[in-house]
């Protein structure tokens, strides 16, 4: 401890000495470091290098691969459900298995795939590199975070093997049904689900503290907050949201576990369950919904904000143009993050809560549309008069704009309380949230993987396979979810194992179900192409040059590519500008890396950042 | 070129699908046609934005595709444009919100003359209770539920005596008379949903929730449960029949009061006692 303080003092006195000795303003000056260089843990064996790794880059890859593996299970579950919906005559599934698959699909995709991949995966990989740090602030805790995630996934998977199977309570886990006899997995599966979520939250908190502190404390010299890439802004803000939102989920899970195991009545009123009067009394099911959605709505943005950030960077790099309105973009991210804590009950307009809340939450929800719209405008204005390269990351970013726009606009239907009444609990909702927080972020993930793959492996992914993958995924998922909204207009309720020949539903609606299912099977199968490309390219891919996309941000400026342990060799980088100086008039190249000193680009008319 | 064209065609295709696909809402059967109007308004505004932005993207991709010798424009910000877009969006959003709130106000304000009907949900089915001659529904408690008192009416409450108990999944309502559904469940969450009525509200054990509507056309409509309630959720169906006065009265006359039901079950008990003695 005292050593550290000494270092600090030394660093400070250096700074003072420097400042006084420099008499003429040096155009390459950057503020001195306030903290001494980080001391890193160096691994000594295969186990500590590749398995119990403390290097954020490896942890990021571990997180990503685990999340993708779990996501594949979610994908297979969606196939099983869709086959049942399209061909109910097959007798393919029992209703109870259908509901179990619906539940596991939802929870896996939202929490164990998207949250883990964006924050655990991209967060770990990119935060130290893009901020110009050697590693996360607390590498050991970072390692624990990943292994807690692994245990959470294992507990979740274990629920498939307990008597009664996994919970079939729907991913929202609403009590009382989640823990009473009418729902599959009501006494075994649900407990494992709750424990798994608790573990996930614990693990995520360890990672999250790391992300926040690293961004705040370990940025390179000259990397002011307003020079950070939007990717980092997105991941950072999402992590802050998660720190506030996950505790609500945590207590909800704990309270429901107690209700189920110890017979408390937090969420359980007096009730009859399949003819039997239960001993619970006085609890409130709506309380759980408030806790769940106080987590659940920010969760949407926990997934969306990193996607917003990443796609901004992809669009800027691949259209060789400054991101339009950077400052607005930053404030929009922060604003959306703050507002996202005041809109949760728009998931509960028809939940039976006091209906007068509807006025407040409809208003806040529609207000959040404004910063979101600004982001969309700024993305498309970035394309305007750009020099657009139709590389794979750009294709996926364009796909994102279309799907996100579509899904965001249908949010204006559901957020507006009156319009929500006929549409809630129908397939319109299913279509909306898959478009906006399923397909849109996943397209960004694909774009990001194609973009940063050379940084991780030193090789490029195959372009032809990537293009096939893009077209099938983008067009296919649009074909799945766009028509699905119209099933919602007809009034087809969600979470129906079978709709039968309801008198109000045209038979053609059932035909549409078949079409959607076929599209689902094709799009799902196309992901195998991606997986092949992902693994095969690590060996067979074309060798990548350094900084293959000619990007400005720091992760591409490491002395070696892929970066080695400690990222920066002997000396940490110094930052002179923001990462968006593309196509600057008067500059020789059409990009100026963040760490290129002003003395090397004399004549370039850069705006001060 | 292909990319720009695809985005263009997706936009055109979406519009075409909207106007020419056969899937649209059912003919409304309640006073909540104004909910449909708010949806249509939302469609026009958001649809216009969708088309404009997609076309803009397609144009950019086509017009500004990569050329080695060209440089992109260097223009990090445009304050004027940004603030104009912000205000335009705010106005559009307000135009959507205001009518929505007006209709919501109507939805949560029940007219005083509304006829009260209790909708009783359980895993997995529907029952109904009408207030009888006094126009008041008797109080209930889950502890009172047993074979003789399936609705759990509090026997001491005089208002409950004349309540009509409909121990079937079929409810009749009178055309053009506002009706307030008092929603009650004895087990888990449910939601009383008739697509043609547009209205919806969850039923929560421990509290009575409600919504109201005025049926506007005669017909036979399916009731669906719209809040997931366990394995039998998808099979939890019922019927609501909107009648003219004559048919309604006929149906109402067939329903029995709570008092009669109790008397009947007592008689049954006595009969059984007699049988046992023999």
pLDDT in tens, B88-106: 999 999 999 999 999 999 9
- Tell me if A417 and B14 make a contact (CB, 8 A cut-off): no
Report A:510-549 residues touching B (Cβ under 8 A).
Answer: 512
| Statement: residue A235 has pLDDT above 70 | yes
Per-residue confidence (pLDDT) for residue A27, from 0 to 100: 80
Residues 6+ apart with CB under 8 A from A354: none
- A384/B122 touch (CB, cutoff 8 Å), yes or no: no
User: How far is C-alpha A208 from the chain's CA centre?
Assistant: 13
- What does the alpha-carbon distance between residue A272 and residue A87 come to, in Å, rounded to a whole number? 35
Interface of A with B in 106-165 (CB under 8 A): none
> What would the mean pLDDT of A67-83 be, rounded to a whole number?
96
Task: Report the pLDDT value the prediction gives residue A396, as an integer from 0 to 100.
Answer: 97
Sign of the CA dihedral running A221, A225, A226, A232: positive
Q: What ipTM score was computed for the predicted complex, to two decimals?
A: 0.94
Kindly identify which residue of chain A lies nearest to residue B238, measuring between CA atoms: A502
- Cα gap B240→B242, rounded to integer Å: 7
- pLDDT < 50 regions, chain B: none
d(CA B178, CA B230): 32
Chain A interface includes B100 (CB < 8 A): yes
Find the residue in A nearest to B92 (Cα). A370
**Position A8 pLDDT exceeds 80:** no
pLDDT of residue B272: 62
- pLDDT, residue B148, reads 86
Q: What is the pLDDT of residue A1?
A: 38
On chain A, the residues whose CB falls within 8 A of the CB of B186 are 271-272
Q: Does A421 touch chain B (CB under 8 A)?
A: yes
Residue A136 above 70 pLDDT? yes
> CB atoms < 10 A from the CB of B109, how many?
10
Distance CA B241, CA A600 (A): 81
Tally the C-alpha atoms within 13 A of residue A20's C-alpha that lie toward its C-beta.
5
Report the pLDDT value the prediction gives residue B269, as an integer from 0 to 100: 65
Which domains, from first to last, does chain B contain?
2-19+27-63+84-108 (no CATH), 115-272 (2.60.40.420)
**Average pLDDT in the A499-520 region?**
87
For range A494-518, the mean pLDDT: 87
CA distance B85 to B80: 9
Dihedral sign, CA of B157, B163, B168, B171?
Answer: negative
pLDDT confidence of residue A502: 83
- HSE toward the beta carbon, residue B95, CA cutoff 13 A: 13
- DSSP summary character for residue A203: H
Q: E strands of A32-116, at which residues?
A: none
What is the C-alpha to C-alpha distance for residues A587 and A608, in angstroms, rounded to an integer?
Answer: 15
The confidence score (pLDDT) of residue A608 equals: 81
Task: For residues A212 and A202, give the distance between their C-alpha atoms in angstroms, rounded to a whole number.
Answer: 16
Check residue A4 and give its pLDDT. 43
Interface contact B74-A395, CB threshold 8 A: no
Whole-angstrom Cα distance, residue A260 to residue A180?
9
- Give the pLDDT band (50/70/90) at residue A3: very low
CA angle A366, A369, A373 (to 5 degrees): 155
- Outline where DSSP puts E strands in A289-423: none
| Domain residue limits, chain A | 54-220, 279-389, 390-544, 556-609
Could you give the C-alpha distances from A133 to A219, A285, A477, A568, in angstroms and in order?
Answer: 6, 46, 38, 8
Q: Cβ neighbours of residue A463 under 8 Å, at least 6 residues apart?
A: A392
Euclidean distance between CA atoms B112 and B101, whole angstroms: 21
How far is residue A352's CA from residue A350's CA, in Å, rounded to a whole number? 6
First to last CA, chain B: 94
Selected from 1.20.210.10, 3.30.230.10, 3.30.9.10, 3.10.50.40, the CATH number assigned to the domain covering A54-220 reads: 1.20.210.10
Inform me whether the C-beta atom of residue B222 falls under 8 Å from chain A C-beta atoms: yes
Residues in B touching A326 (Cβ below 8 Å): 76-77
What does the mean pLDDT of chain A come to?
92
Alpha-carbon gap, residue A184 to A168, rounded angstroms: 5
Q: Answer with the residue of higher pLDDT: A192 or A92.
A: A192
Give the model's pLDDT for residue A519: 97
pTM over cut 0.95? no
**B59 close contact with A: CB closer than 8 A:** no
Please tell me the predicted confidence (pLDDT) of residue A537: 96
pLDDT in tens, A21-45: 444 568 888 888 888 888 888 888 8
Supply the pLDDT for residue A503.
Answer: 82
**Where does the pLDDT of residue A316 fall: very low under 50, low under 70, confident under 90, or very high at 90 and above?**
very high
Tens of pLDDT along A398-417? Answer: 999 999 999 999 999 999 99
Chain B interface includes A603 (CB < 8 A): no
> Count H helices, E strands: chain B?
5, 11
Answer whether residue A500 shows pLDDT above 60. yes
DSSP per-residue letters across A328-350: HHHHHHHHHHHHGGG-GGGG-TT
């Amino acid at each position: 401890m005292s050593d550290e303080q000494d270092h600090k003092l030394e660093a400070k006195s250096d700074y003072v000495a420097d400042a006084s000795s420099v008499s003429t303003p040096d155009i390459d000056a950057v503020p001195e470091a306030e903290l001494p260089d980080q001391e890193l843990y160096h691994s000594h064996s295969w186990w500590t290098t590749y398995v119990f790794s403390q290097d954020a880059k490896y942890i990021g890859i571990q997180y990503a691969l685990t999340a993708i593996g779990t996501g594949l299970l979610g994908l297979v579950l969606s196939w099983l459900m869709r086959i049942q919906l399209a061909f109910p005559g097959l007798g393919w599934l029992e209703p109870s298995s259908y509901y179990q698959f619906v539940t596991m699909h939802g929870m896996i995709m939202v929490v164990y795939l998207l949250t883990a991949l964006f924050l655990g995966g991209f967060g770990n990989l990119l935060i130290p590199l893009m901020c110009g740090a050697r590693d996360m602030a607390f590498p050991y805790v970072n390692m624990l975070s990943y292994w807690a995630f692994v245990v959470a996934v294992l507990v979740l998977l274990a629920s498939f093997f307990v008597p009664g199977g996994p919970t079939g309570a729907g991913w929202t886990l609403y009590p009382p049904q989640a823990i009473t006899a009418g729902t599959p997995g009501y006494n075994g599966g649900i407990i494992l689900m709750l424990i798994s979520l608790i573990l996930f939250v614990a693990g995520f908190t360890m990672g999250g503290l790391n992300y926040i502190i690293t961004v705040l404390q370990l940025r390179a010299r000259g990397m002011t907050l307003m020079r950070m890439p939007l990717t980092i802004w997105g991941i950072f803000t999402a992590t802050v949201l998660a720190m506030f939102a996950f505790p609500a989920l945590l207590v909800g899970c704990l309270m429901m576990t107690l209700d189920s195991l110890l017979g408390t009545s937090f969420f359980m009123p007096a009730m009859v369950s399949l003819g039997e009067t239960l001993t619970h009394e006085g609890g409130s099911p709506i309380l759980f919904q408030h806790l769940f959605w106080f987590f659940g709505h920010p969760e949407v943005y926990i997934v969306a904000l990193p996607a917003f950030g990443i796609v901004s960077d992809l669009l800027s790099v691949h259209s060789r143009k400054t991101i339009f309105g950077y400052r607005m973009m930053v404030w929009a991210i922060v604003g959306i993050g703050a507002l996202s804590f005041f809109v949760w009950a728009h998931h509960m307009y028809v939940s039976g809560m006091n209906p007068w809340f509807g006025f407040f939450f409809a208003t806040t929800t529609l207000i959040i549309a404004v910063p979101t719209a600004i982001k969309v405008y700024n993305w498309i204005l970035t394309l305007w008069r750009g020099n657009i390269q139709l590389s794979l990351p750009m294709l996926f970013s364009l796909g994102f704009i279309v799907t996100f726009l579509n899904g965001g606009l249908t949010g204006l239907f559901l957020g507006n309380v009156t319009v929500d009444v006929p549409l809630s609990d129908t397939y319109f909702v299913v279509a909306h949230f898959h478009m906006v927080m399923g397909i849109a972020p996943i397209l960004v993930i694909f774009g990001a993987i194609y973009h940063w793959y050379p940084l991780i492996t030193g090789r490029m992914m195959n372009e032809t396979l990537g293009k096939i993958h893009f077209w099938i995924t983008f067009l296919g998922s649009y074909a799945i979810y766009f028509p699905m909204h119209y099933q919602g207009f007809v009034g087809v309720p969600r979470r129906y194992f079978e709709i039968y020949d309801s008198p109000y539903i045209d038979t053609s609606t059932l035909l549409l179900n078949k079409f959607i299912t076929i599209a689902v099977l094709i799009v799902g199968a196309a992901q195998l192409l991606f997986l092949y490309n992902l693994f095969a390219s690590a060996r067979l891919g074309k060798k990548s040059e350094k900084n293959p996309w000619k990007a400005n941000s720091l992760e591409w400026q490491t002395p070696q590519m892929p970066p080695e342990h400690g990222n920066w060799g002997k000396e940490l980088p110094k930052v002179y500008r923001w990462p968006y100086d593309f196509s600057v008039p008067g500059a020789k190249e059409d990009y100026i890396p963040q760490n290129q000193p002003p003395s090397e680009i004399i004549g370039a008319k850069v705006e001060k950042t | 070129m292909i990319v720009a064209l695809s985005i263009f065609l997706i936009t055109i295709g979406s519009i075409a699908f909207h106007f020419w696909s056969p899937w649209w809402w059912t003919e409304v059967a309640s006073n909540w046609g104004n909910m449909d109007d708010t949806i249509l308004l939302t469609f026009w505004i958001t649809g216009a934005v969708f088309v404009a932005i997609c076309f803009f993207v397609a144009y950019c991709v086509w017009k500004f595709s990569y050329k080695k010798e060209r440089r992109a424009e260097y223009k990090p910000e445009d304050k004027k444009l940004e603030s104009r877009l912000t205000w335009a969006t705010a106005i559009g959003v307000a135009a959507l919100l205001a009518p929505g709130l007006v209709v919501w106000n109507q939805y949560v304000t029940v007219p005083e003359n509304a006829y009260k009907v209790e909708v009783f949900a359980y895993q997995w089915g529907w029952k109904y209770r009408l207030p009888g001659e006094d126009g008041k529904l008797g109080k209930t408690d889950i502890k009172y539920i047993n074979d003789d008192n399936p609705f759990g009416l509090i026997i001491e409450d005089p208002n409950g005596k004349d309540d009509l108990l409909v121990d079937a999944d079929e409810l009749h309502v009178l055309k053009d008379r506002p009706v307030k559904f008092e929603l009650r469940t004895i087990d888990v969450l449910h939601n009383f949903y008739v697509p043609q009525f547009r209205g919806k509200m969850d039923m929560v054990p421990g509290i009575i929730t409600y919504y109201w509507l005025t049926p506007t056309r005669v017909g036979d409509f399916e009731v669906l449960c719209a809040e997931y309630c366990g394995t039998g959720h998808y099979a939890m169906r019922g019927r609501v029949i909107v009648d003219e006065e004559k048919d309604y009265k006929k149906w109402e006359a067939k329903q029995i009061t709570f008092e009669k039901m109790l008397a009947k079950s007592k008689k049954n008990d006595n009969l059984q006692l007699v049988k046992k003695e023999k």
